[in-house]
A and B are shown apart, each in its own frame.
Chain A
């Protein structure tokens, strides 16, 4: 149980275009989802916390107008990279926390590798 999927697993786009990445909790409901970015050979950096039905909370230095997050349901959060540039190329990983009480574990998706040309 507790499976999180991401779609697409990889995407190549041209500079200036927008890309949407989906994060789904397949067998549980998640009030809270997180979006991370991981550059090559580096750790995960939290970009934002996504709460169902409310605005996302962005970490310092993350442009909320560039990285649009929508958490429309208890099983789906989306990250849209708007006007992508080569420096946005990265591995994007989402995670979700099950809604049930006392579940403190974040379940991670497999990641989406974005390459902007």
Chain B
């Protein structure tokens, strides 16, 4: 079985400040990990993914995440928040390339000008 826990349903940061969204996972096999962003009334857009290889993954819009097996974590970071980053972010895990994806409960990011 697989699961995802996102710590903090709401995160507020000032524009220009560091963004840190936390995600911990549980998986019985080496996981595939994803971060998605969702704007209101829209579908999901992939920010980045980890499958194998380098544990620090860079994605779109300046986001990156690091896979830490020992901590079962895949936290999302961005050095400097932009107003356009305000959205809901979902961490997700799957147990294989074509397996179903389990989503976390989401973290709503607010960026304060």
Contacts and interface: CB of A to CB of B under 8 A. Distances in A.
Given A93-B44, A104-B51, A44 B103 contact: yes
Given A43-B105, A46-B102, A104-B51, A93 B43 contact: yes
A111 B43 contact: yes
A106 B101 contact: yes
A54 interface: no
A32 B103 contact: no
Contacts of A95: 44, 101
Contacts of A97: 98
B98 A110 contact: no
Interface residues on A, range: 20 to 34
A28 B80 CA distance: 35
Contact of B41 (A104, A108, A109, A113): A113
B49 A105 contact: yes
B14 interface: no
A32 to B, nearest CB: 6
Q: Is the interface of A mostly helix, strand, loop or mixed?
A: strand
Contacts of B28: none
Interface residues of B, number: 22
Contacts of A109: 43
Contacts of B97: 102-104
A107 B44 CA distance: 8
A34 interface: yes
A6 B90 CA distance: 21
Interface in A29-61: 32, 34, 42-46, 49
B98 A111 contact: no
Q: By CB atoms of chain B within 10 A, which of A43, A45, A111 has the most?
A: A43
Contacts of A6: 43
A44 B97 CA distance: 19
- 4 tightest A-B CB contacts, nearest first: A108-B43, A104-B97, A108-B44, A110-B43
23 contacts: A6-B43, A32-B98, A34-B101, A42-B106, A43-B103, A43-B104, A43-B105, A44-B103, A46-B101, A93-B43, A95-B101, A103-B97, A104-B49, A104-B51, A105-B34, A105-B46, A106-B46, A106-B101, A107-B46, A109-B43, A110-B42, A111-B41, A111-B43
